[in-house]
Amino acid sequence: MGRDGCVRVLHLIVGLSGGGSERWLRDVVALSSGDLDHRVVTVIPDGGEDPVYAEELQALAAYQPPRVAAPAKAALRGVRRHWPGQSSKLRALARGAGTLAALVRVVSAVRRSRPDVIHSHTIPDFPVALAASRLFRIPLVHTVPCLFSQLTEAGHSWMPRLYAACHPYVACFSTGEGWRELEALHVPRRKILYDLGGVDFGEVDAALARRQSHAAHVRMRLGLPAGCPIALSVGRLHESKGHMLALESLPALLERVPDLHWVVLGEGDQRLALEERIAQLGVQDHAHLVGYRRDPLVFYAAADLYLRSALLEAENFSFYEAMATGLPAVGFATGVSRDLLLSVGNGAQVPLGEAREFADAAARVLQLPDRGRSLGALGAAYARQNLDVRTSVARLAAVYLALAGGQTFETSPAPLSGR
């Protein structure tokens, strides 16, 4: 046990940038009850990525930044920059060396913090967490960070095979829509916690209380006409997020909604390609790549429509926030078994890759008398009932406490009522 008899949880994660896994980790640490004592270790030392949540986790006494010499940081940045061009053998060698170094860091952290539970949150830390769990006989919780199709797309097709081989040594898998994929690997239902974070309604309510001022401020900041409609996209600038398809739909959408502006929050390696295509389409005055923002709810509160253009996933944290803030949405059919756009009815779904139909659906929503606010209200009501992050954190905390006490725990291996 940790200080004051608390259950000690050691969280392993690749880094603390602004992704969904990192946000979920921050929420778990910040919103847990006093029964838990959290420690966070990044298995790959800072290599130049913006550690978005590092300061918050430090303030919560859960994280101490690793000391990495400047030459080591430069080397890490160089490896990341040139990684795609290297041979598969060299990449495998580098991955093996990185895993060994990470294991040394984690073993040291386990010896220092003596955790009751280990929680692995992303891909590179799972093999290391698995090894540490077996070595020290500590229960392991693992959050499956995305669908298997996304793992494959990101070059991690080996992960499902590792899950299939090693699931007997994992006490609990935390997942969202991926619960069906885990079951297909014969992971027992009793080990699957159907949950993957949610929305902080304290933050949402604060943003909505200032909706009018946020709407005016965002338009002024971007140099947009007062009152113009905004279609918002949120996600890293990567092919899998479908921003290029959303962009291809923009000219047709502007034919029907000429004063529309498309605002994109996120950063990534597709920025240059998007900028070039924006120029080719001649929509520079209507497309705004804002970059990563630490205050995304300001933009949600200011927008009129959410464009869920992702190609592989129907649900993610950005979509949950769009629902929570009452934005109607238009999204592609990604082939997953459940799509909240259909079951909740807070927008429109179109066939995957059909940019023209995407534009038509977005125009129909924006041309409704209320600009789709009544549709958005359906999403907001659903989110408030089902997507409160405090409920998710409490459910996960109960798993930690049960594992630390050698007890069984309750899981939700299928969607909750109404989900």
**Would you list the DSSP string of 187-255?**
--GGGEEE----B-HHHHHHHHHTHHHHHHHHHHHHTPPTT--EEEEES-SSGGGTHHHHHHHHHHHHH
Can you tell me the mean pLDDT for 53-71?
Answer: 81
Instruction: Take residue 271 and report the two structure tokens written for it.
Output: 């920025």
Pick the closest to residue 383 from 341, 338, 334 (CA basis). 341
Q: What is the pLDDT of residue 69?
A: 45
Which option is the CATH number for 201-386: 3.40.50.2000, 3.40.309.10, 3.20.20.140, 3.50.50.60? 3.40.50.2000
Sheet of 192-194, strands arranged across: 36-42, 7-13, 117-120, 140-143, 172-175, 192-194
Residue 85: the pLDDT is 53
CA distance 80 to 100: 18
Once rounded to an integer, what is the mean pLDDT over residues 291-299? 94
> 177, 198 in Cβ contact below 8 A?
no
Q: What is the pLDDT at residue 416?
A: 42
pLDDT of 8 higher than 80: yes
Mean pLDDT of 30-47: 85
Residue 81 has pLDDT above 70, yes or no: no
The token duo for 24 is 């979920």
Rounded Cα gap, residues 117 and 88, in angstroms: 35
Confidence (pLDDT) at 48:
46
Tokens standing for residue 126: 């799972």
pLDDT tens-digit readout, 205-232: 999 999 999 999 999 999 999 999 999 9
| Same fold yes or no, 3-198+388-404 and 201-386 | yes
Going from N- to C-terminal start, the domains of the chain cover: 3-198+388-404, 201-386
The amino acid that residue 226 corresponds to is A
Determine how β-strand 305-308 pairs with β-strand 329-332. Answer: parallel
Can you give the C-alpha Rg of the chain in angstroms?
A: 22
Indicate the SS3 state at residue 402.
helix
Report pLDDT for 215. Answer: 97
Q: Is 284 exposed, middle or buried (0-12, 13-18, 19+ CB in 10 A)?
A: exposed
pLDDT band of 4, cuts 50, 70, 90: low
User: 231-259 pLDDT, tens per residue?
Assistant: 999 999 999 999 999 999 999 999 999 99
Which region among 195-204, 224-233, 293-302, 357-366 has the lowest average model confidence (pLDDT)?
195-204
Burial of 62 (0-12, 13-18, 19+ CB in 10 A): buried
Tell me which fold the domain 3-198+388-404 belongs to: Rossmann fold (3.40.50)
Q: State the burial class of residue 342 (Cβ atoms within 10 Å of its Cβ: 0-12, 13-18, 19+).
A: middle
What separation, in Å, do the N-terminal and C-terminal C-alpha atoms of the chain show? 36
Q: Residue 328: its pLDDT value, please?
A: 98
Give me the residue label for tokens 């009501």.
381
Other beta carbons within 10 Å of 257: 20
Lowest average pLDDT, out of 15-19, 161-165, 209-213, goes to 15-19
Element (H, E) at 410: none
Confidence of residue 49 (pLDDT cuts 50, 70, 90): low
Residue of 152, 157, 147 lying closest to 178 (CA atoms): 147
Q: Across all residues in the chain, what is the average pLDDT?
A: 88
Q: Distance (Å, rounded) from C-alpha 26 to C-alpha 115?
A: 18
* Among the listed residues 264, 249, 274, the one whose alpha carbon sits nearest the alpha carbon of residue 363: 249
pLDDT of 91 reads 47
The rounded distance, in Å, linking the Cα atoms of 285 and 304 is 18
Helix ranges (DSSP H) in 53-124: 54-59, 70-82, 88-113
Mean pLDDT within 28-44: 91
100 vs 81 pLDDT, higher one: 100
Least confident of 39-53, 179-193, 267-281, 332-346: 39-53
pLDDT over threshold 80, residue 166: yes
For 89-136, the pLDDT digits (tens) are 554 554 555 566 777 888 888 999 999 999 999 998 999 999 999 999
What percentage of the chain reaches a pLDDT higher than 90?
Answer: 69
Q: Is the dihedral of CA 118, 122, 127, 128 positive or negative?
A: negative
